[in-house]
Structures are given as structure tokens and as C-alpha cells.
Amino acid sequence: MTAPAKRSVTIAGHRTSVSLEAPFWDALKEIATARGLSLNDLIAEVDRSRAGNLSSALRLFVLAVLRERR
């Protein structure tokens, strides 16, 4: 497993940083592309519906999408 990489994202006009491992960043980019969204827009969607930590919510989102694809 790779170490988390911190990246800056913009959510609702505000900059914040998110730490995720490279495979999660790659998966989020793929999902965003498949949905015709920017990475920031996809992350903002997840942010609006999350209950806890944004990084954890993004990991759980990727897992849910991958499970749906089975």
C-alpha cells in the first residue's frame, strides 16, 4: 500500500486538503471521468452527503462504486 498523498481540492468555493492513497485518487479520477464531472465536483458531491471525515467518506464512496460494478 502506498502512503497517503495530500492534495488540495475546492469544495463550495473553499480550498481544503484531503489525504488519500494513490489508488483511491486514481479511482476517484476514473469515477469522475465516467460521470462527466471534475474531480472537485465529485468530491463536493461526496462531501454533501458525508457523516464523518472526508477522507474516510471518499474511501467508502470508492468502495461502494466498485461493489456496484460487480
Q: Provide the β-strand partners of residue 18.
A: 7
Cα–Cα distance measured from residue 56 to residue 37, given in angstroms and rounded to the nearest whole number = 21
Q: At what angle do helices 39-49 and 54-68 cross, to 10 degrees?
A: 100
**pLDDT for the residue numbered 44:** 96
Question: In tens digits, what is the pLDDT along the chain, a chain of 70 residues?
Answer: 678 999 999 998 999 999 999 999 999 999 999 999 999 999 999 999 998 899 999 999 999 999 998 8
Per the confidence metrics, is the pTM higher than 0.85?
Answer: yes
| Encoded amino acid at 35, one letter | R
Please, what are the domains in the chain?
A: 5-68 (1.10.3990.20)
CA distances from 34 to 14, 15, 28, 29, 47 (A): 25, 24, 10, 9, 19
Q: For 63, which DSSP code?
A: H
In this prediction, residue 2 carries a pLDDT of 78
